[in-house]
Amino acid sequence: MIEWLETHNGQMPRSFISRNGKQVKRGEMTETEKKEVNVNSRWRKAPERLALEACKRNIVRRTTRRISRV
């Protein structure tokens, strides 16, 4: 994922590809588009992402508690 973000100016990979307002089927995608969708899919299932999301939720909870005490 880090490699992807570095080579694509920090843009997340797309979860699906569309052309003319319609979602493109896997067989109609270019190799590059297939790789992009695969990177997104692997990132969604990655343990690193799950850990990152858990940390984010924990930080938000702590911040919310501090604000409510004031």
- Condensed to tens digits (0 to 9), the pLDDT of residues 32-58 reads 999 999 899 888 888 888 888 888 888
Sequence spans of domains, the chain:
2-69
Angle at 2 (CA atoms; ends 19, 21), nearest 5 degrees:
10
Q: Quote the pLDDT of residue 7.
A: 80
Tens-digit pLDDT profile for residues 17-35: 999 999 999 899 999 999 9
- Confidence band, pLDDT 50/70/90 cuts, at residue 66: low
Whose structure tokens read 């924990």?
58
Angle at 36 (CA atoms; ends 13, 2), nearest 5 degrees:
60
Q: How far apart are CA 14 and CA 40, in angstroms?
A: 6
Q: What is the pTM of this model?
A: 0.64
